[in-house]
Amino acid sequence: MAEITAAAVKQLREKTGAGMMECKNALVESGGNEEKAIDILRERGLASAKKREGRIAAEGTVGSYIHMGGKVGVLVELNCETDFVARGEEFQQLVKDIAMHIAAAEPRYVSREEVPANVLEKEREIARAQAKNDPKMANKPDQVIEKIVEGRLNKFYEETVLLDQPFVKAPEKTVAELVTEKTAKTGERIAVRRFTRYKMGEGLERRSEDFGSEVASMLG
């Protein structure tokens, strides 16, 4: 079996707009042949999602999720191109799934572009200091340190950015890949515009509880 490299997966994703896991699976199925992998993705309706990225998605809905007992609440706005798709079962289920995910995973931003520059720079400084203070990194060149810093920044994105987070109901895919799948199925551009997450008593001086873990445990 041909070795499927990260570079090959990335290249296929750039060409098709399909999710990372979909691209990897298509390459495995095709024995590493990129053209065959593209055909596989096209047959599954996943290769055309990127073409829809420039379309205007002004319809959609605001969905909600309230955790049992009313201790965590989420409002999320999900957009699509037509009211017909917005009212469809596929889209409505996606809204519910993303709202539940937000309740469990506690993202702070929708996308990487929303992360403030000062927050990102602070994370870089912390990661750089941690790397330089690591005895294993002694005498390592700056470019090695910077690669480590970028790796830790990617981890920061996975923890705080909604689209980069592993989807709680199927951790093998990210929320972004989930949205891409639904874009392919509905034939319309779908985008998460914004969300708000409320936690009962947040900011008050009281006993702390991990509601995110509690919600995640409910999902099995």
pLDDT in tens, 127-177: 888 887 878 777 777 788 888 888 899 999 999 999 999 999 999 999 999
CATH 1.10.8.10 domain residues, the chain: 6-47
DSSP the chain: -----HHHHHHHHHHH---HHHHHHHHHHTTT-HHHHHHHHHHTT-TTGGGGTTS---EEEEEEEE-TTSSEEEEEEEEES-HHHHTSHHHHHHHHHHHHHHHHH--SBSSGGGS-HHHHHHHHHHHHHHHHH-GGGTT--HHHHHHHHHHHHHHHHHHHBGGGSEETTEEEEEHHHHHHHHHHHHTS--EEEEEEEEETTTTSSS----HHHHHHHHT-
Per-residue pLDDT of 106-122, as tens digits, reads: 999 999 999 999 999 99
> 6-47 architecture in CATH?
Orthogonal Bundle (1.10)
CATH 3.30.479.20 domain residues, the chain: 54-111+161-218
Cross-strand partners of 72: 199
What's the pLDDT at 198? 94
> What token pair was written down for 4?
């499927």
Residues 191-210 have a mean pLDDT of 80
CA–CA gap between residue 41 and residue 89 (Å, rounded): 24
Per-residue pLDDT of 20-72, as tens digits, reads: 788 888 899 999 998 888 888 877 766 555 555 656 677 899 999 998 788 99
Global pTM reads 0.67
Tell me: domain 54-111+161-218, CATH 3.30.479.20, correct?
yes
> What token pair was written down for 119?
């927050």
